[in-house]
Amino acid sequence: MHSMTRHVALPLAVVALMALSGCPGSKSQPPPMATGPGATDASSAAGQAGQTDQDEWTIGMSQCNLGEPWRVQMNKDIEQAADEHPELDVIFKDAQNKTEQQQAQVREFIAQGVDLIIISPKEAVPLTKPVGEAMDAGIPVIVLDRKIEGDRYTCFIGGDNVLIGREAGKYMVELLGGKGKVVELRGLETSTPADERHQGFIEGIAGSDIDIIFDPDCEWLEPKAQREMNSALARFDQIDAVYGHNDPSAHGAYQAAKQEGRDRQEAIRFIGIDALPHEGVKYVQEGILDATLQYPTGGAQAIDIALRILGGEDVPKSITLGTRLFTADNVADGGKEILAQDDE
């Protein structure tokens, strides 16, 4: 557990939203757009939290795991944003990819009487009840990245995974000329992003002659993706491309193909998702991935919204972050911006 405790009390001031994060941590990328009900206010009012006499606010942050580089970056983004506000004390907990542990963490935060909870849940259904218990206790909850069931939370912040999957599918059609055999390395099937990224991809390749020949659950983990790709290489003589639900999965598949001499020699193409500057974007620059789509962490936005909630403001129920497509042709220019679609 990592916590940040500050002893200087300051009133909540106007917070300038740094940027609806382009590549997290990268100041060279233009910011993605936020849309959805009230999202314009979220980006333009950027942290206009109400004034309060309370000296310090305690925020509990439950991260489903720190085994994925993207989640490590999310925590860094939250910490960096919170560092700008000495009145905030953020307590970080790592659920280590264990649903029961994350359930317990939320209940620990409730027992501690924290002022607000941020959670990036491992799974939707099992975390729904603990989040509801926090709401019953009068503790506002920001759900970050992965959704829970129902609407018993204060605000959801996340990317449009259907849109991202659809854009990946459309680019796959372009990459393969409309036909080919594809391996889809899926994220954890009980998490909402995995289902949505698959759904979007199917929409993106609709009407083409692209076939998904193998689609194992790789749980977002590179080692498992590499093992599953080894299995695919042993089973299928023809693999034209790989669609990884995150960049570690796509990179693991590339490593497996390279070991078998079936990477560029047989022109297997690779698409991933996340686009961290030091990971997916770097892989595109190095020619390992053909493309990656940005999935913003939402960490800075979560702190901005937390300040507004703690200051007594109304906030949007849902904030949807945009994405960027990075390819060899545009990576030097910061990728191509793709705006998020309005929430229904």
Profile the chain (344 residues) by mean pLDDT over runs of 10 residues. 36 34 34 37 38 78 94 97 97 96 98 98 95 98 95 96 97 97 95 94 98 97 97 96 97 95 76 96 97 96 98 96 95 91 46
Q: The domain 161-294: what is its CATH number?
A: 3.40.50.2300
Q: What pLDDT is recorded for position 27?
A: 31
Q: What is the residue-wise DSSP string for 312-339?
A: T----SEEEE-EEEEETTTGGGT-EEEP
Residue type, 337: E
Q: What pLDDT is recorded for position 340?
A: 65
The answer as to CATH 3.40.50.2300 being correct for domain 2-159+296-322 is yes
Q: What pLDDT is recorded for position 264?
A: 59
Q: Which residues of 293-327 are buried (b: 16+ CB within 10 A; e: fewer)?
A: bbbbbbbbbbbbbbbbbbbeeebbebbbbbbbbbb
Tell me phi and psi for residue 46, to 5 degrees.
30, 75
Q: What pLDDT is recorded for position 25?
A: 33
Which residue spans of the chain are classified as CATH 3.40.50.2300? 2-159+296-322, 161-294
